[in-house]
Amino acid sequence: METILVTGGTGLVGSAIKTISDNYETHLQFIFLSSKDCDLTCYDKTFQTFDLYKPDYVIHLAANVGGLFKNMNYKVEMFEKNMEINMNVLKCCHLFNVKKCISCLSTCIFPDKTTYPINEEMLHNGPPHESNDAYAYSKRMIQVLSDAYNKQYNTSRDCVFCCIIPTNIYGPHDNYHLEDSHVVPALIHKAYLAKQNNKPLQVRGSGTPLRQFIYSEDLAKLILWYLLEIDSNESIILSTSEDKEISIGNVATIIAKEFDIELEFETKYSDGQYKKTADNTKLLELYKKTNDTDIVFTPIELGLNKSIKWFIENYNNCRK
């Protein structure tokens, strides 16, 4: 039996992988690691965990993450903790001869001033947006370190390091903190409270920025496909297509409609980066080649409906 160790295993994407893991072969054993199980900022504890499970594959999702305002206000913590986590995990993947390690990046780490759509080759073509620069550079370094391991040690292809680059992820099991979460869970939580208090949903910013959103279970399926079916150490963008790009205002409108409440925009707040349009051509072509079919993504309206229902049902116990 082969073991897949998932760091950040109880987070948004890790939980989605757990939800669909029963659909995979019985010879695969999944270990979902949380921060309570191991402090990945500590090398000795990370080593002990790898020694305990001796994984064949690693899906590295663990990170110190947050929304726009956490990235702006806690730059040192965002950089240091992510650097520590990533160096420890990749080093142990090398030492324990993991067959393949997939690390999760984000489109928010791409250059601020660039042409669109952005693709996998443009990651280091300029500085990221200043609002999330510390976090972005720490995540970029996973790709640099992965490439370094591949070039220095991986001549036999026995151990492969690669990176996935998803666009904005949403779904059940997210972090719904009102200040430190990403835009969708924050809006869902705010809408829930607004409904309770008979008030409108207040959205920070103008609502004009554009984003590509991917439902967490869609992403989970693509991660396992790239891990188990694709022999490659190249980075790949995992995203819906450009024509599915939607404004924050339209997302907020869908959420407000689900809760049957009014909507207000607080334009005194920063919008952050206007757009981060990603090119998923590489994904679509490779998936079509290996599966002889197109990818079917969950429509944003359906994904938000599922996410809201999950949040309401799990309000007392979810991360918030």
> Which pLDDT belongs to residue 155?
57
Q: Residue 195 is encoded by which pair of tokens? A: 């409904």
Instruction: Give the whole-angstrom CA distance, residue 311 versus residue 272.
Output: 26
> Which pLDDT belongs to residue 154?
67
Domains of the chain: 2-313 (3.40.50.720)
Is 135 in the active site?
yes
Residue 305's beta-bridge partner residues? none
Q: What is the dihedral sign for C-alpha 289, 227, 218, 138?
A: negative
Instruction: Give the whole-angstrom CA distance, residue 139 versus residue 264.
Output: 34
In the 8-state DSSP scheme, what is residue 6?
A: E
> Which pLDDT belongs to residue 95?
94
Instruction: Give the whole-angstrom CA distance, residue 301 versus residue 12.
Output: 18
> Which pLDDT belongs to residue 165?
96
> Which pLDDT belongs to residue 157?
56
Secondary structure (DSSP) of 40-71: TTSHHHHHHHHHHH--SEEEE-------HHHH
Instruction: Give the whole-angstrom CA distance, residue 196 versus residue 188.
Output: 13
> Which pLDDT belongs to residue 276?
84
> Which pLDDT belongs to residue 244?
92
Q: For the chain, which residues score pLDDT lower than 50?
A: none
234 CB burial (10 A radius; 0-12, 13-18, 19+): middle
> Which pLDDT belongs to residue 262?
95
> Which pLDDT belongs to residue 255?
98
> Which pLDDT belongs to residue 74?
82
The structure tokens 């160790």 sit at: 5
Q: Choose, from 24, 43, 135, 149, the residue flagged as catalytic.
A: 135
